[in-house]
Structure 1
Amino acid sequence: MLIANGKPVLVFDVNETLLDIDALMPLFEGIFGRGNAMREWFAQLVLYSQALSLAGRYAPFNVLGGAVLRMVGATHDLTISDDDVFALGAGIAALPLHTDVANALARLQDANFRLFTLTNSPADHQADPLRRAGVAGLFERRFTVDAVRRFKPAHETYAMVARELDLPAASMCMIAAHVWDTIGAQSAGCMAALVTRPGNAALPLTGLAQPDFVGPDLPSIAEQLLERWD
């Protein structure tokens, strides 16, 4: 089932899908002596966000991010200072858009797709990378999992968006750079598009629904959506 104009509602993940988290690498280079420690931290952050949801516990994503930074530091015999944690929060608040994002979003909006976001990160109107980048106004609403205190890919997160928009999940298409996000969205009844940014790929598991759309960047996903519905 689709909305009245025959097009699905597009719901975008934010971190890594829209925002370039590689901008954090210099911070991790300074702390760990290697920038790619950022990927270790981010993978652990995702892992423990999902572990908290499975265990029925919750902490805001930014608070968890600082705790995971201290944990990863401990595994490398490094003491993470309060200044390091503060610098991480400031770096996340200042993340830039991927260079392919703004034009692709504008093109989809011009084609009368309705655009929303759904992120694990809590709302912070004072530190808002999408507003700083000038694209916040392209989205009708921006949802955070804080409302249900469960992290993606928990079903409750996608159901919350469908409920708030008074739409069936089948009318939503989740667009994300993480296959765990597309798995969660599809399991909740949504369509899904996977942006295979470097380090991300589909999971070729027998019996697992594959994303409806797959492309290396946001313009390629936009092109597929336009070909199907414009």
Structure 2
Amino acid sequence: MIDVLLLDVNETLTDMESLRDDFEAVGLPRHSLDAWFAATLRDGLALTAAGAYADFRELARELLEAQLVAAGIEPSDEKIATVLSGFTRLSLHPDVEPGLRRVHEAGVRIVTLTNGSVAMSEKVFTDAGIMPFLENRLDVSTPQRWKPHPDAYRYAAEVCGVPVDRMGLAAVHPWDIDGARRAGLQGFYIDRRNTPYPKAFLAPDLVVPDFEGLAAAITR
């Protein structure tokens, strides 16, 4: 079906729930994580749509500072670091390692592509034991276009030296699946929460409950 499996990182591979503890530690409600992460994606995608670019960490930092100020909390460097460093302490969803192991053993090349930075996930992947499965880890700093801009996916295909139609993106975000499909890739929706896929987006080529289900589907 594909030569290269392209992976989204945040939420698709990593379980971000532990970041709620970090928000609570700096005095913000645990649910603040949702608004902050959504705002970071919103502003990054808005800048991309306008033909501009911002680094994920810097944008996330500024939005976190604004959130702290709005809550009447001094946005100290220590508080900012407490939250942002939480990305390096995330765990993977339990289905990721066995699923990727099976994909890797089947000879499918595996590459990550994130709107964040490659460095943010290095410790997480190493600790979880999936680093040997990954041929390459990419972020959008080179094309300077956040996903779902087509240039981000085409950049990954160029690095891998494959036509876009021989690459499939796995993600939990429908907007990411839609962007990949419009760029010519196949799209694999990881639907852990049994969430209906929006009809406004191009439909995925596969809908699976987790990476073990994806591995079974693409290695038959």
TM-score computed with the length of structure 2 as normaliser: 0.91
Where do 5+ consecutive residues of structure 1 fail to align? 1-5
* Identity between Structure 1 and Structure 2 (%): 30
Q: In structure 2, the residue corresponding to 1:194 is in which secondary structure?
A: strand
What is the total number of aligned residue pairs between the two structures? Answer: 220
Q: Does 1:209 align with 2:205?
A: no
How much does 1:70 deviate?
1.7
Q: In structure 2, the residue corresponding to 1:15 is in which secondary structure?
A: coil
Q: In structure 2, the residue corresponding to 1:153 is in which secondary structure?
A: coil
Q: Does 1:20 align with 2:22?
A: no
The aligned counterpart of 2:149 is: 154
The aligned counterpart of 1:3 is: none
The aligned counterpart of 1:57 is: 52
Deviations 1:203-222 (A, max 9, x none): 123xx420111122221222
Match of 1:222 among 194, 211, 215: 215
Q: In structure 2, the residue corresponding to 1:11 is in which secondary structure?
A: strand
Q: 1:75 to 1:121 in 2, by over 3 A?
A: same
The answer to which of 164-173 and 185-194 deviates more is 164-173
The aligned counterpart of 1:11 is: 6
Q: Which amino acid aligns with 2:149?
A: A
Q: 1:125 to 1:176 in 2, by over 3 A?
A: closer
How much does 1:33 deviate?
4.5
Q: 1:81 to 1:121 in 2, by over 3 A?
A: same
1: CA distance, partners of 2:4 / 2:121: 27
Q: Does 1:172 align with 2:167?
A: yes
Q: In structure 1, the residue corresponding to 2:67 is in which secondary structure?
A: helix
RMSD: 2.0
The aligned counterpart of 2:80 is: 85
Where do 5+ consecutive residues of structure 2 fail to align? none
Deviations 1:67-114 (A, max 9, x none): 121223344444432212111221011111111111111011111111
Contact 1:177 1:200 in 2 (8 A): no
How much does 1:129 deviate?
1.7
Q: Which amino acid aligns with 1:83?
A: E
1:72-111 superposed matches below 5 A: 72-111=67-106
1:192-203 superposed matches below 5 A: 192-198=187-193, 201-203=196-198
Q: Does 1:113 align with 2:83?
A: no
Q: Which amino acid aligns with 2:63?
A: V
TM-score computed with the length of structure 1 as normaliser: 0.88
2: CA distance, partners of 1:91 / 1:9: 29
Contact 1:61 1:120 in 2 (8 A): yes
